[in-house]
Amino acid sequence: MTPASTAPTEYPRRNIVSWCLYDWANSAFAAIILSFVFAPYFLEHVAIDPVRGQAQWGFAISASAIAIAVLSPVFGAFADRSGRRRMWLGSCSFVSIVATAAMWWVMPEPGFVLLALVLLVIANAAFELGYVFYNAMLSVVAPPEATGRISGFGWGAGYFGSLASLGLVYALLVAPDSPLFGLDSTLAEPLRAAAPLTALWWLVFAAPLVLFGPRERPSREATRQIVTNGLGDLWRTLRGLPRMPSVLWFLVAHMFFIDGVNTLFIFGPLVAKGVFGFSVDEMLLLGVTIYLTAGVGAVGCGWLDDKFGGKRVIVVSIIALATISVSIVFLETKTQFWIAASFLGIFFGPVQASSRSLMTRISPPEMRTKLFGLYALAGRAIGPIGSALVGVVTLATGSQRAGIAVVAVTLLVGLVLLIPVREHAAKPT
């Protein structure tokens, strides 16, 4: 039996809006938990010291990356056979939302390090696995001639959603002289409350896509048969990658350059906190600066993507990110770091949005979810190594700066591997 089809004959605007709104929803997790509120809270109030805190955070991200690497291609193959992308997206989102809300119970004491890291592994793994199904929906919601723009709009919505969620945290939990809702500052409750607030934000804004998104036609196969056939499809897909050289080269290249992007996003704020001593207010403002520039970059470069091609946008973005990331190692002042972070933001959006649109263009339509499962795998394949290396180098040198130095290498390796990719190569050779 062939995989269940979800390809529509039309592209309703409401599907585009709900698809972009999901990025607005889950972006709060990346902004508040992974980067600018909970991660600095862990570094300053839970970990014994910033150096060990950054290393522990890196090892937890590495552990979640292993789970993503193992499960994402299997999930992608299963989704293609079952035809239930929205159900799986909702399931992954719900697991991450629950784990995120539970971070409220991480008290400002070293005894809660393990709880924080376990919840981080669960929440981040489910967060990333959801993207397997979300990314695969791009071809369902966007017409081919607007793939780059819609992908850019999605990333842009995510960045602006990050801005809005950070603003809400600041307004409700950080700015008031007397904590609202009876929160106790001595127990860091205003910072801890950012976790359940993030979970609620995600739940509310993800609902339209999960509940009312693109119409699907579920397979009538039994679950056991779906699993068996799905794994068989996955194995055939892996064996068939050499017949799709552009897909193969892109997946390998993406493995490296996106790890550099993820590393900058996750560990850059930790450097801001641990090395440059950013306050809570300054961390939030730094997040606003990065997401504002990234949102503008993602939306603006979506038009360049459709005009000049995703590959060219990615190449320019990687070169810029590698150049700026090297400079971070030598920065001495907050102002210098702030300027570098602003320029990084401009190119974060384009490299992510154009990667998704390029993958859509070079993937055969009937294989897109399976290939997006491999895309998610490639996005985290060296994540266990990359994040662990940051932790090891940080511990070995006693320097958070040194832990960031590996980023430029992975970016440039990805750039070299991207060269053989042909923009329009959807049919296997």
85-89, 298-302, 312-316: range with lowest mean pLDDT: 298-302
Residue 168 has a pLDDT of: 93
Residue 222 has a pLDDT of: 66
Confidence of residue 8 (pLDDT cuts 50, 70, 90): very low
Residue 294 has a pLDDT of: 77
Q: How many helices (H) and strands (E) does the chain have?
A: 18, 0
Distance CA 35, CA 341 (A): 13
Confidence of residue 118 (pLDDT cuts 50, 70, 90): very high
Residue that wins the pLDDT comparison between 417 and 391: 417
- 364-373 CB burial, b ≥16 within 10 A, e <16: eeebbbbbbb
Confidence of residue 314 (pLDDT cuts 50, 70, 90): very high
Residue 111 has a pLDDT of: 94
253: Cα separation from own chain's centroid: 17
Mean pLDDT, rounded, for 96-108:
97
* CATH of 13-212+224-418 given 1.25.40.10, 3.40.50.300, 1.20.1250.20, 2.30.30.830: 1.20.1250.20
Residue 377 has a pLDDT of: 64
Q: Which amino acid is at 274?
A: G
Per-residue model confidence as pLDDT tens digits over 28-82: 998 899 888 999 999 889 999 888 888 898 889 888 888 887 787 777 666 666 6
| Closest by CA position to 232, among listed 73, 87, 84, 88 | 73
Distance CA 425, CA 337 (A): 40
Per-residue model confidence as pLDDT tens digits over 391-412: 777 778 777 777 776 778 888 8
Model pTM? Answer: 0.76
Residue 4 has a pLDDT of: 42
Please state, for a pLDDT cut of 90, what percent of the chain lies above it.
Answer: 24
Given a cut of 70, whether residue 220 has pLDDT beyond it is no
Mean pLDDT, rounded, for 146-153:
75
Residue 25 has a pLDDT of: 95
Confidence of residue 10 (pLDDT cuts 50, 70, 90): low
The residue assigned the tokens 């940051």 is 390
On average, the pLDDT of the chain sits at 82
Confidence of residue 140 (pLDDT cuts 50, 70, 90): confident
Per-residue model confidence as pLDDT tens digits over 236-288: 777 888 888 888 999 989 888 888 888 887 777 888 888 788 888 888 888 88
Domain boundaries, the chain: 13-212+224-418
- 307-332 CB burial, b ≥16 within 10 A, e <16: eebbbebbbbbbebbbebbbebeebe
Considering Cα of 68, then 74, then 75, then 77, what sign does the dihedral take? positive
Backbone angle region of 333, left / alpha / beta, with phi > 0 → left and psi within -120 to 50 → alpha: beta
Given a cut of 50, whether residue 7 has pLDDT beyond it is no
Residue 399 has a pLDDT of: 75
| Closest by CA position to 99, among listed 85, 113, 116, 112 | 116
Residue 375 has a pLDDT of: 73
Residue 221 has a pLDDT of: 66
